[in-house]
């Protein structure tokens, strides 16, 4: 297992993903800092806003990263090397999940650093609201656990990272709209609220509170967090079944 994890991290170090997206997040946070010093922020903590924007870009990066981590081995035929060394497909999948988690932690740290750089340059080293920041990290973590498990499954079924990227990004921007429509049917069919798309609202409900979003999701904060984890695990198990049956 450690050998597989080292191999995955080695591939990422040479793939330059971490450098490219680090630069993108730096650019976004710097632009955000420059913009917020010139406009009225309506009493909202500017540092938090800068961090939120960097975090949004990190989410896009994670969708792109997760969508290709399984398909790239098949497209480059490196999967034959892995199977030749008699690694089980389960261990290969777990090593890739660990790599995804490591990359998420890395991008979060990059966002902290670049936000502080932007804060010092443009915001006169303003005070951090760590309650807001860590709530955002909590919300994003639940959200990405569910969304990326869906992205992994989609990329594995369609054998295309492009399809997974497109669907993942669409979910980021229109999931709330979709669920606003779905919520109209929950009055007569309460079971509809347990569909996985509804649990993608976990990001908003954690961030803005149960009182505001329960009317959309019809789920309490605990229910939507636990549900996001359960659905994420279900999608990962299905991903394993599909991955285990794929032909080389």
Q: What is the mean pLDDT of the chain?
A: 84
Percent of the chain residues past pLDDT 90, beyond the cut: 41
Confidence band for 164, pLDDT divided at 50, 70 and 90: confident
Distance between first and last Cα of the chain: 21
What integer is the mean pLDDT of 23-51? 83
pTM across the whole model: 0.88
pLDDT of 111 reads: 97
Separation between Cα atoms, residue 40 and residue 67, nearest integer Å = 38
Q: Is 163 helix (H, G, I), strand (E, B) or coil?
A: helix
Q: Is 74 helix (H, G, I), strand (E, B) or coil?
A: helix
Q: Which of 16-25, 79-88, 193-202 has the lowest mean pLDDT?
A: 79-88
pLDDT digits (tens, 9 = 90+) for 108-163: 999 999 999 999 998 888 889 899 999 999 999 999 999 999 999 988 887 766 77
What integer is the mean pLDDT of 33-39? 78
Which residue bears the tokens 């794929």?
246
pLDDT of 60 reads: 92
pLDDT digits (tens, 9 = 90+) for 63-103: 989 888 887 777 666 666 766 667 788 888 899 999 999 99
pLDDT digits (tens, 9 = 90+) for 54-66: 999 999 999 989 8
Confidence band for 23, pLDDT divided at 50, 70 and 90: very high
pLDDT of 226 reads: 96
What integer is the mean pLDDT of 157-174? 76
pLDDT of 135 reads: 94
Scanning the chain, the segments in alpha helix (DSSP H) are 2-15, 17-36, 46-69, 71-75, 79-84, 89-122, 130-158, 161-182, 202-208, 210-217, 221-245
Most confident of 31-35, 81-85, 209-213: 31-35
- Under a CB-based contact definition with an 8 Å cutoff, are residues 168 and 151 in contact? yes
**Residue-wise DSSP of 83-137:** HHTT--HHHHHHHHHHHHHHHHHHHHHHHHHHHHHHHHHHSSSPPP-HHHHHHHH
More confident residue, 194 or 76: 194
Separation between Cα atoms, residue 131 and residue 146, nearest integer Å = 23
Q: Which of 5-14, 28-37, 96-105, 136-145 has the lowest mean pLDDT?
A: 5-14
């Amino acid at each position: 297992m450690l050998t597989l994890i080292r191999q995955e991290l080695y591939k990422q170090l040479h793939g330059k993903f971490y450098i490219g997206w680090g630069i993108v997040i730096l650019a976004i946070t710097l632009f955000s800092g420059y913009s917020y010093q010139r406009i009225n922020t309506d009493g909202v903590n500017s540092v938090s806003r800068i961090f939120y924007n960097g975090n949004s870009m990190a989410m896009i990066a994670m969708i792109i990263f997760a969508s290709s981590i399984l398909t790239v081995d098949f497209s480059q035929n490196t999967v034959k090397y892995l199977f030749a060394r008699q690694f089980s497909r389960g261990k290969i999948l777990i090593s890739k999940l660990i790599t995804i988690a490591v990359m998420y932690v890395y991008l979060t740290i990059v966002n902290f650093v670049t936000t502080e750089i932007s804060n010092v340059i443009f915001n006169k080293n303003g005070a951090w609201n760590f309650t807001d920041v860590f709530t955002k990290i909590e919300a994003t973590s639940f959200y990405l656990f569910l969304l990326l498990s869906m992205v992994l499954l989609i990329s594995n079924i369609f054998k295309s990272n492009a399809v997974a990227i497109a669907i993942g990004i669409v979910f980021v921007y229109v999931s709330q709209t979709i669920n606003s429509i779905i919520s109209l049917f929950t009055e007569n069919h309460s079971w509809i609220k347990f569909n996985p798309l509804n649990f993608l609202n976990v990001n908003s409900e954690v961030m803005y509170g149960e009182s505001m979003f329960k009317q959309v999701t019809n789920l309490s904060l605990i229910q939507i967090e636990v549900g996001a984890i359960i659905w994420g695990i279900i999608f990962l198990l299905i991903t394993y079944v599909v991955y285990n049956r794929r032909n080389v």
